[in-house]
Chain A
């Protein structure tokens, strides 16, 4: 039997890696990929808690399903925006789209 702590450790590592990616990357799409890593980390946490601690109601599983659906919507919409920005400015780097930075 695998202790619950193993899954929690995995999710903490994965979340930290995704967070690093969000802060360090410049390409908007690579930032999106790092956000996916963070979402996966949270999903692992919720599924592990649901399977270990709440197997009667398992609300965490339902939430994970919603996370997957909303992440798909988020990626689709964000890619639309990135493509738009790329068409206007010929760049997909977030630090070059700085019109609002004064």
Chain B
């Protein structure tokens, strides 16, 4: 039933219901983490990490499992904002800001526009492909292999070092000027190409115009 919430005229209702569900679901996690913090089992950064961890994984689950495409897109926003919290936790303020601006703003809006003009125009609820069990098996296998490989190695026990905006800019424009320019050209070409592709076809010239 939740999949059939009306769109987009009552978009605020979607957000309210979604927010209430998310809040109720995360209240136990938050309480458990705060209790752990109070009894000194975890430090404050770890509290933030596990909160962001829960948000990211839950948002990603919603983004790949929800049937309603717009709800899936909203769920993706939760994940991307959680990733930005992870960047902040690692001391990378510039990347966190860029993440919120580019992903939380631009990319998500683009995706929602795309959904509105394709799927959601007919029916916001889509069914997944028939290869779901296969996909789940492969994804679990891949995740286990990656996790095992990454956790198996010993990485030393140094902490995260915050990198200031000045350092970041100096490094970017000192060693990576050419890639920076190439990325700028790439963005220009890609977005012009997207405009060209998505533009409606020109109507055929009428005989009057052709004879002119």
Interface membership of chain B positions 97-118, coded 1 if the CB is closer than 8 angstroms to chain A and 0 otherwise: 0110011001100110111011
Segment touching A, from B2-10, B33-41, B80-88 = B80-88
A29 pairs with B111, CB closer than 8 A? yes
Evaluate contact between A51 and B190: CB separation under 8 angstroms: no
State how many angstroms separate the Cβ of B166 from the closest Cβ of chain A: 13
Q: How extensive is the interface on chain A, given as a class?
A: 35 or more
> With a CB–CB cut-off of 8 A, which chain B residues contact A65?
95, 98, 172
The answer for the CA separation of A24 and B128 in the assembled complex, in Å, is: 6
Q: Point out the residues of chain B lying under 8 angstroms from A6, CB to CB.
A: 49, 53
* A34 to B167 CA separation, bound complex (whole angstroms): 32
A-B contact count (CB 8 A): 242
> Which chain A positions have C-beta within 8 A of B49?
2, 6
- The CA-CA distance from A13 to B110 in the complex, in Å, is 26
Contact B151 A1 (CB under 8 A): no
Q: Which residues of A contact B129 (CB under 8 A)?
A: 23-26, 95
Instruction: Give A28-67 as 1s and 0s: 1 = Cβ < 8 Å from B's Cβ atoms.
Output: 1110111011001001100110111101011001101110
Measured in the bound complex, the distance between the Cα atoms of B79 and A30 in whole Å is 14
Neighbour of B106 across the interface among A12, A29, A32, A72, CB < 8 A: A72
Q: A51-B90, A52-B158 are in contact. Are A83 and B80 (CB under 8 A)?
A: no
Determine if B163 and A29 form an interchain contact, defined as CB atoms under 8 angstroms apart: no
Q: Is B135 an interface residue (CB 8 A)?
A: yes
- Contact call A5/B155, Cβ cutoff below 8 A: yes
Chain A residues in the interface with B (C-beta under 8 A):
1-21, 23-30, 32-34, 36-37, 40, 43-44, 47-48, 50-53, 55, 57-58, 61-62, 64-66, 68-77, 79-84, 86-87, 92-93, 95
Beyond the given A1-B159, A32-B111, could you list 10 further A-B residue pairs with CB under 8 A, ordered by the A residue number?
Answer: A2-B49, A14-B60, A15-B143, A19-B142, A19-B143, A40-B83, A51-B162, A76-B110, A80-B198, A83-B118
Q: What are 13 pairs between A and B in contact, CB < 8 Å?
A: A3-B157, A29-B118, A29-B119, A34-B63, A48-B90, A55-B163, A58-B163, A61-B95, A68-B102, A77-B197, A79-B110, A79-B198, A80-B197
- What 10 A-B pairs come out closest when comparing CB atoms? A16-B143, A23-B135, A80-B194, A21-B64, A55-B161, A20-B139, A73-B190, A80-B197, A92-B118, A12-B146
